[in-house]
A and B are shown apart, each in its own frame.
Chain A
Amino acid sequence: MLYDKIQLIIKRLMLAVPTLFGVLVISFCLTRALPGDPAVYFAGAMADEASIQQVREKLGLDRSLPYQFLAYCNNLLNGELGQSLTTGQSVTYEIKARLPASLELTLLGLFMGLLTAIPLGILAALKPNTWIDHLCRVLVTAGASTPIFFSGLFLMFVFYYLLGWSPSPIGRLDFIYLEPPHVTGFYTIDALIIGDYEVFKAAFAQLLLPASTLALCALAPIARMTRSSMITALESEYVKAAKANGISAKMRVYVYALQNASLPLLTVIGLVFGFLLGGNVLVEKVYSWPGIGSFAIDALVASDYAAIQGFVLIMAVLFVTLNLIIDILYTLFDPRMGRNE
């Protein structure tokens, strides 16, 4: 049984290899599909013929495409993503410095989304066609139709301008606070590590609105999936059998049904994470959040190609990795997997 599962997991890992390879090929194409000659571009505006030639050789642009691709992969393995024109730093450095800000936001958004969507979905499934089910449906449809930048601005208007509950919605920390020493790069966690609750509260208050915006976006698909898979589970034979055996309603819902409904949920979480990585860019723009999304937007405006390509690649790798982890968890949790192999 366990042996079968390990075999399945290895199979799944092998399946990810061609996908990762494809991702690499596409990002390589993105680097080579620049309008005009990349060498001229990377040499800068003041370059003469000789220095362009030099850059061409340095980038390997005079070699064959397969060679260039291998060189590109080799650079990636060394963590080399090129030089950002806007900041003058290496793209790897920039992304490393800014990734924690984006991840802190995205993960908190996802967590808040799960925390509201799953109970909502369960309630809607338990009481179909009541007001809670209708509320769930309205939220799901509205959530799927709301542009994330609009909900972000709306929350900002209500909670900052009208109610004044939220701190000034710019950046990760109000300037009167010093940022906590770097451990994880997550300001909230770093502040907790040194036990500075003041800074923790400030950082968390800054996080709350942008994370809620992301949570609103994540809410819809998760609630919809929870509701439908809970309804399927509750109507199933094993729940009926449990009822016939006198197992309490609470136990039936939270153990028998929810456990089975949690598997499709896992898949949806992977999907939602993809939305959130994209939505993150818009939220970072709205809240001037110094993550990799706003870095990418600055790079886009300045036609800073190396930075954009690095950004797209990192996002794709993050997404593929998360989906892989989810697939592995799925294999581990689902007792049916590996039985018929």
Chain B
Amino acid sequence: MNSQTIKQDNIAQQLRYLVGQNLLSSISLILFGVYVFIALTGSYWVPYDPLESNTTIALQGPSSQHFFGTDHLGRDVFSRVIVATRLDLGIALAAVSISFFVGTFLGALAGYYGGWYERLIGRLADIVLAFPLFVLAMGIVAVMGNSLINVIYATAIINIPFYIRISRAEVSLQRDRQYVQAALLSGNSHFRTLLFHILPNCLPNLIVQISINMGWAILNAAGLSFIGLGVRPPVAEWGILVAEGADYIISGQWWLVLFPGVVLMLAVFTFNLVGDTLRDLADPQKRK
């Protein structure tokens, strides 16, 4: 009875309830909005051209002119960090979308049809997870070629198994429910039933996974570009910005590493927290 009424609440009410419950959740949602805003509009309002170098002001600390200081070529670190947001979030979003669609589809088929197909898909997921994932991503990029698109593919591949597992488990829970029988009886094909009747009911858990995965994907892509894969200088990307600053950290130019690093960390933190918030939303037991 109680869960019925909560289910009928709209999302705005649920959000308000959660925000009241947990300060961190509301902070994370605000931060999420800020990041999306920066990614969409950042390149239009940054104070300097992120690629414009001016060696007369190289390696200056933070000041009122250059909030985050300047790098070894005199480029404005603040502008570079802001402009990089779109690229980093874009890479993560592209990679996570690929793994979401491919993984969910494969997992759903496995969960629905079962049999040897389910065993095969499950085995494949296990094998990918048998690798240390960052190492596998390195190997994939090395073999497919060192380019941005391959970094996206590699990040997507290492995350696919998680979606396979979740959607397989969810679909095999749902497939014997009565509404599925009803859908089939009223003339829907198996495929249509799976796609339009079962999968929408599996979405909550998948969405939680998407949010957490966004954080991993950002970390993974930044790690790969930190070791020189994918995005290349002079393009502004958080991993590269930290890598460029790494040479100056032992001579005390901390701002080159600190600002892009903190912005990167905060982005991952935000997505992790949003994931936690969504998990609470998706889990009716926690909501009570």
Interface residues, chain A, CB within 8 Å of chain B? 18-19, 22-23, 25-27, 30, 33-35, 141-142, 144-150, 153-154, 156-157, 160-161, 168-169, 274-275, 277-279, 281-282, 285-286, 296-297, 299-301, 303, 305, 308-309, 311-312, 315-316, 319-320, 323
* B contact residues around A19 at 8 Å (CB): 126-127, 130
Interface residues, chain B, CB within 8 Å of chain A? 123-124, 126-128, 130-136, 138-146, 215, 219, 222-223, 226-229, 239, 242-243, 245-246, 249-252, 254, 257-258, 261, 264-266, 268-269, 272-273
Which one, A22, A30, A315, contacts B143 given CB within 8 A?
A: A30
* A contact residues around B146 at 8 Å (CB): 300
B226 and A315 contacting across the interface, CB-CB below 8 Å? no
Which one, A22, A161, A279, contacts B127 given CB within 8 A?
A: A22
Given contacts A26-B127, A278-B135, A312-B131, 9 further A-B contacts (CB under 8 A): A30-B139, A30-B143, A142-B269, A150-B257, A278-B134, A285-B226, A300-B142, A312-B135, A319-B130
A153 and B261 contacting across the interface, CB-CB below 8 Å? yes
* B contact residues around A23 at 8 Å (CB): 127, 130-131
* A contact residues around B242 at 8 Å (CB): 147, 149-150, 153
Looking at chain B's contact residues, the main secondary structure is helix
Q: How far is the CA of A240 from the CA of B245 in the complex (A)?
A: 55
Q: How far is the CA of A299 from the CA of B273 in the complex (A)?
A: 37
B257 and A319 contacting across the interface, CB-CB below 8 Å? no
* B contact residues around A303 at 8 Å (CB): 142
B132 and A274 contacting across the interface, CB-CB below 8 Å? yes
- From A294, which residue of chain B is reached at the shortest CB distance? B227
Q: How far is the CA of A327 from the CA of B155 in the complex (A)?
A: 28
From A34, A141, A148, A300, residue with most partner B Cβ within 10 Å: A300
A301 and B228 contacting across the interface, CB-CB below 8 Å? yes
A320 and B130 contacting across the interface, CB-CB below 8 Å? yes
Q: A156-B250, A277-B132 are known contacts. Are A147 and B261 too (CB-CB below 8 A)?
A: yes
How many contacts A-B (CB < 8 Å)? Answer: 155
Q: How far is the CA of A53 from the CA of B258 in the complex (A)?
A: 53
Q: How far is the CA of A147 from the CA of B261 in the complex (A)?
A: 8
10 cross-chain pairs, A with B, having the tightest CB-CB distances, nearest first? A278-B134, A22-B127, A150-B261, A312-B139, A145-B269, A277-B132, A145-B268, A315-B135, A308-B142, A274-B132
- For this complex, 9 residue pairs linking A to B, each with C-beta atoms less than 8 Å apart, are A23-B130, A35-B144, A147-B239, A147-B264, A147-B265, A281-B135, A282-B134, A316-B130, A316-B132
* A contact residues around B226 at 8 Å (CB): 147, 149, 282, 285
Q: A23-B130, A282-B223 are known contacts. Are A141 and B269 too (CB-CB below 8 A)?
A: yes
B272 and A141 contacting across the interface, CB-CB below 8 Å? yes
Which one, B138, B145, B265, B268, contacts A308 given CB within 8 A?
A: B138
Q: Output the least CB separation between A56 and chain B (Å).
A: 19
